[in-house]
Amino acid sequence: MRKLLLLVFFSLSSLSLHHTAKAATVNFTTEEYPPFNYREGKTPMGAAVEQVEKIMTDIGVDYSIDVLPWARAYNQALTVPMTCVFVTAHNDARDKLFKWVQPLLIDRNVLIKHTGSPVTADTLDEAHNYLVGTWRGDYTETVLRQANFPRIDVGADFRATLKKLMSDRIDLMPISVLYFDKLKKEGDAVEQVTVLSEQPMGIACQKDFPDDLLTKMQAALDKLIAGGTQKQIFLKYGLNLGN
Domain extent listing, the chain: 2-105+202-236, 107-199
pTM for the model stands at: 0.70
Span 107-199 CATH architecture: 3-Layer(aba) Sandwich (3.40)
Q: Is 30 helix (H, G, I), strand (E, B) or coil?
A: strand
Considering only the top CATH level, what class is 2-105+202-236? alpha beta
Instruction: Say if residue 62 is exposed, middle or buried (CB neighbours under 10 Å; 0-12, 13-18, 19+).
Output: exposed
Q: In this predicted structure, what is the pLDDT of residue 16?
A: 39
Report the sign of the C-alpha dihedral through residues 155, 159, 160, 166, in that order: positive
Contacts (Cβ under 8 Å, ≥6 apart) of 125: none
For the cut 70, the answer to whether the pLDDT of residue 243 exceeds it is no
CA distance 152 to 171: 10
Tens digits of residue pLDDT in 1-52:
444 443 433 444 444 333 333 457 999 999 998 889 999 999 999 999 999 9
Amino acid at 121: A
Q: In this predicted structure, what is the pLDDT of residue 113?
A: 98
H-helix or E-strand spanning residue 99: strand 98-114
Q: Is 136 helix (H, G, I), strand (E, B) or coil?
A: coil
Tens digits of residue pLDDT in 41-97:
999 999 999 999 999 999 999 999 999 999 999 999 999 999 999 999 998 889 999
Answer yes or no: are the C-beta atoms of 202 and 217 closer than 8 Å: no
- pLDDT, mean of residues 195-210: 95
pLDDT band for position 156 (50/70/90)? very high
2-105+202-236 and 107-199 agree in CATH topology: yes
What is the chain's mean pLDDT, rounded? Answer: 89
- Angle, CA 15 vertex, CA 13 and CA 20 arms, to 5°: 95
Q: Around Cβ 219, how many Cβ atoms within 10 Å?
A: 14
Distances (CA, A) of 2 to 8, 10, 13: 10, 12, 16
